[in-house]
Amino acid sequence: MPDRLLDVKEAASLLGLKPTTLYQWGHERRLRTVKLFNGALRFRESDIEKLIAKSERPALRDLPR
């Protein structure tokens, strides 16, 4: 199945960031982007998911039940 392309607002919403932050990250090449023929910026959904997974931190200890 092909990877879905997210627009800046969709990707920002998934990450809990402002769209301007993603524009900046794209410009700085901190995050891979797809630039369409009309100049619109898109992000691969798999790249956003990888960023989220890479940012996860394990708990230091289990919570009491």
Evaluate whether 9 touches 20 at the Cβ level (below 8 Å).
Answer: no
Tell whether 60 is covered by a domain. Answer: no
DSSP summary character for residue 29: T
Q: What is the domain range of residue 26?
A: 5-54
Tell whether 63 is covered by a domain. Answer: no
Tell whether 40 is covered by a domain. Answer: yes
28's tokens: 């700085």
How many domains in the chain? 1
Tell whether 32 is covered by a domain. Answer: yes
Identify the CATH number of the domain in which residue 29 sits.
1.10.1660.10
Tell whether 25 is covered by a domain. Answer: yes
Q: Is the pLDDT of residue 1 over 70?
A: no
Tell whether 47 is covered by a domain. Answer: yes
Tell whether 65 is covered by a domain. Answer: no
Burial zone of 8 (CB within 10 Å; 0-12 exposed, 13-18 middle, 19+ buried): buried
pLDDT per residue as tens digits for the range 12-59: 999 999 999 999 999 999 999 999 999 899 999 999 999 999 988 888
17's tokens: 């960031």
